[in-house]
Chain A
Amino acid sequence: MSKEKFEAHTIPDRISINYRYSYGGQSKFFIELMNNKKLLGTKCTKCGKVWMPPRINCSECYTPADWVEMKQTGVIMVSTIVWYTTSAFIKAIPYGVGFIKLDGADTSLLQGIFSENLVPSKIKKGRRVKAVFSKEREGKMTDFFFVPEEEYEKWINKPEYEGGV
């Protein structure tokens, strides 16, 4: 190419696709979450492993897994606080996320961890947490989140949230 001054031609553009996405075999988890504020895991019919998030087949035994209702309390395994993030979530910063092992589960679930005082020590490994639900639920993971057990009453008394079952 010759040495003439370069001028870029740029255009605004967007890729956008609409879906009617089916959760398939996992649907029951989202239906029970939305309608009944229940958290369902699955239990392998052979090895007994309790999967949360649920899978209707055990990936280790290649056997079907049964739905089981989980307790709504658990323990933080690891967490972080996000201060800079994607365009889709930047209005929500700072927010806590972490892996929570529900009582009785063998795996941990990624979820938001809310606290009235969001500092690392408040959402540290080993802290007991309890699920809080949005009053307006759509059958999505954003229908619930976890809070430190001692803050549970405060959170469920906020107008937009409620306790589970």
Chain B
Amino acid sequence: MRKVAIIGVGITPFKARYIDKTYFELAYDATKLALEDANNNGAEITHKDLESTVYGIYNELFERQFMPDIFANSYLGMNNKPGTRIATGGATGGYTVRMAYAEVASGLSDLCLCLGFEKCADCYDEQTGAATPEVLNSIAYSADMTYEYPMGVMAASSYVTMVNAHYEEFGNPTEEQMAYVSVKNHGNAILNPKAQAPMELTVEDVMNSRIICYPFKLLDCCLYSEASAALILAPEEKVRELGIEKPIWITGVGAANTDCFIGNREDMGRLYSNIFAAKSAYKMAGLDYDKIKQQIDLAELHDAFSGQEAISYEELGFVPFGQGGPWIEKSFEQSGEGPWLDGELPCCPSGGLIGCGHAVGATGIMSTGEAALQLRGDAGKHQVKSIEYGRAISHSIGGPGAAYAAVIVMANEEGLKKP
């Protein structure tokens, strides 16, 4: 397989609603931003040079359009080129990066557009006069329609199951520990001008926010969002030919689907998909699951819910099982420790989903792009202090019971050389 690099990143602001743009207009904005970024990074390309597109779009009901990729394809001027759509729930973005990587690594394309987008707030519930209940309903159709949808399940009640089972086993994450995740990610978002939910919060603020799904409270949950994010991927020879100044190499792509029926799992307090995706991505990148915290500079995690980020620290190998919640709690205001922005392994420096919002198909592409910008030193105000190893990961999960997961490992030029 060929070596593949991210040469351009384009991310639109994440917003509650773009009343002034359709999904394909948002997709156009992110594509244009990614082309501009590639050109600032040494290239001289236009959309006409892009040879293929891999689309990450989660939900037809959000877009009010089945096969939305083909309409974006037209609007982006990508006619008569291959375009493939990926839809893997909340993990759509990460999986889309994986397939765009494969498009280039395999030699099928030399310049590939990896493009995610999502609308959602055109969904509207007449009875409550609000978008959210109808957005949640259009997501709930992703649950098993025979046995589980009729029980009133939704994203929060699905994720909370695993967090509650984890709590039963380890006594954590506690409600306070979950609140620290919310404090961190809303706080990091203050430094990210593209984030939807920048907030300076205390643990008490989170604990006092209204209950959504025991024990998740409003501020433990990410907001649904509208946005688009795009990456331009190229093989090594193209990177050299174009004279790319700061290529970010994709060195590992891992994905796994665990059982979508949580009740079939041996242990309900595990997101097995995370473990398998992380192990395979790290192995491909030549990294070690048990030492990963000392091998990467930052992680852009999929923090759909605070308690689930705390568990993900464990699944992704940052800390031993049962230590995720305590890791964030004990490191609060301890510079150089924990997952905080100035910590030993900053997690979600962008603000993640809780801080930025969750524009499903765009999210994992945004987080991969954010990690790439960090490794370039171009992240802006939320740039992490030091890039020591030159490596980062992005992480996407989704689907019923977080059945889908994808992990992407990236490295800058220095990171490629480090052990």
Q: Which residues of A contact B (CB under 8 A)?
A: 6, 8, 10, 12-13, 15, 23, 26, 53, 77-90, 92, 95, 97-99, 101, 107-112, 120, 125, 140-142
CB atoms of A141 and B140 under 8 A apart: no
B80 within 8 A of A: no
Q: Which of B20, B64, B213 contacts A82 (CB 8 A)?
A: B213
Q: Which of B61, B134, B146, B213 contacts A84 (CB 8 A)?
A: B213
Give chain B residues whose Cβ lies under 8 Å from the Cβ of A13: 64
CB atoms of A107 and B133 under 8 A apart: no
Give chain A residues whose Cβ lies under 8 Å from the Cβ of B215: 120
* Stretch from B147-155, B250-258, B341-349, B372-380 at the A interface: B147-155
Write the chain B residue with the least CB distance to A81: B214
CB atoms of A79 and B164 under 8 A apart: yes
CB atoms of A23 and B146 under 8 A apart: yes
Q: How far is the CB of A28 from chain B (nearest CB, A)?
A: 13
Q: With A82-B154, A110-B262 given, is the CB distance from A8 to B214 under 8 Å?
A: no
Write the chain B residue with the least CB distance to A49: B264
B263 within 8 A of A: yes
Give chain A residues whose Cβ lies under 8 Å from the Cβ of B133: 85-87, 90
Q: With A92-B152, A108-B263, A125-B168 given, is the CB distance from A80 to B213 under 8 Å?
A: yes
CB atoms of B151 and A110 under 8 A apart: yes
CB atoms of B263 and A88 under 8 A apart: no
Q: With A23-B146, A110-B147 given, is the CB distance from A83 to B19 under 8 Å?
A: no
Q: How many angstroms between the C-alpha atoms of A108 and B265 in the bound complex?
A: 9
Give chain B residues whose Cβ lies under 8 Å from the Cβ of A15: 61, 64
CB atoms of A97 and B152 under 8 A apart: yes
Give chain A residues whose Cβ lies under 8 Å from the Cβ of B168: 78, 125
CB atoms of B160 and A80 under 8 A apart: yes
CB atoms of B151 and A107 under 8 A apart: no
Q: With A6-B20, A8-B20, A15-B61 given, is the CB distance from A83 to B150 under 8 Å?
A: no
Q: Which of A77, A85, A89 contacts B165 (CB 8 A)?
A: A77
CB atoms of A85 and B263 under 8 A apart: no
Q: With A53-B147, A83-B212, A88-B137 given, is the CB distance from A77 to B61 under 8 Å?
A: no
Report B117-166 residues with CB < 8 Å from chain A CB: 124-125, 127-128, 133-134, 136-137, 139-140, 146-148, 150-154, 156-157, 160-161, 164-165
Q: How far is the CB of B165 from chain A (nearest CB, A)?
A: 4
CB atoms of B157 and A77 under 8 A apart: no
CB atoms of A85 and B146 under 8 A apart: no
- Given A97-B153, A110-B147; 9 other pairs, CB 8 A cutoff: A53-B261, A53-B263, A78-B269, A83-B214, A87-B125, A87-B133, A87-B137, A110-B261, A141-B146
CB atoms of B128 and A141 under 8 A apart: no
B45 within 8 A of A: no
Q: How far is the CB of A70 from chain B (nearest CB, A)?
A: 14
Give chain A residues whose Cβ lies under 8 Å from the Cβ of B67: none
Number of chain B residues whose Cβ lies closer than 8 Å to a Cβ of chain A: 41
Q: How far is the CB of A130 from chain B (nearest CB, A)?
A: 17
Q: How many angstroms between the C-alpha atoms of A23 and B150 in the bound complex?
A: 14
Give chain B residues whose Cβ lies under 8 Å from the Cβ of A108: 262-264, 268
Q: How far is the CB of A147 from chain B (nearest CB, A)?
A: 15
Give chain A residues whose Cβ lies under 8 Å from the Cβ of B148: 110
Report B199-221 residues with CB < 8 Å from chain A CB: 210-215
Q: How far is the CB of B288 from chain A (nearest CB, A)?
A: 31
Q: Which of A6, A79, A82, A101 contacts B152 (CB 8 A)?
A: A82
Give chain A residues whose Cβ lies under 8 Å from the Cβ of B152: 82, 85-86, 88-89, 92, 95, 97, 112
Q: How far is the CB of A108 from chain B (nearest CB, A)?
A: 3
Q: How far is the CB of B161 from chain A (nearest CB, A)?
A: 5
Give chain A residues whose Cβ lies under 8 Å from the Cβ of B264: 107-108
Q: Which of B124, B127, B157, B269 contacts A80 (CB 8 A)?
A: B157
Sample of 23 A–B contacts (CB below 8 Å)? A6-B20, A13-B64, A15-B64, A77-B165, A78-B164, A80-B160, A80-B164, A80-B214, A82-B214, A83-B210, A83-B213, A84-B210, A84-B212, A85-B133, A86-B140, A87-B136, A90-B133, A97-B152, A107-B261, A107-B264, A110-B153, A120-B214, A125-B168
Give chain B residues whose Cβ lies under 8 Å from the Cβ of A23: 146
Q: How many angstroms between the C-alpha atoms of A97 and B150 in the bound complex?
A: 11
Most buried by B among A53, A84, A99: A84
Write the chain A residue with the least CB distance to B152: A89
- A-B CB proximity, top 10 nearest: A108-B263, A87-B133, A86-B137, A89-B152, A86-B136, A87-B125, A78-B165, A81-B214, A141-B150, A8-B19
Q: How many angstroms between the C-alpha atoms of A141 and B150 in the bound complex?
A: 7
Write the chain B residue with the least CB distance to A77: B268
Write the chain B residue with the least CB distance to A140: B150
Give chain B residues whose Cβ lies under 8 Å from the Cβ of A26: 146
Write the chain A residue with the least CB distance to B130: A87
Q: With A80-B160, A110-B153 given, is the CB distance from A85 to B262 under 8 Å?
A: no
Give chain A residues whose Cβ lies under 8 Å from the Cβ of B64: 13, 15
Q: How far is the CB of A110 from chain B (nearest CB, A)?
A: 5
Q: How many angstroms between the C-alpha atoms of A89 and B152 in the bound complex?
A: 6
CB atoms of B151 and A85 under 8 A apart: no
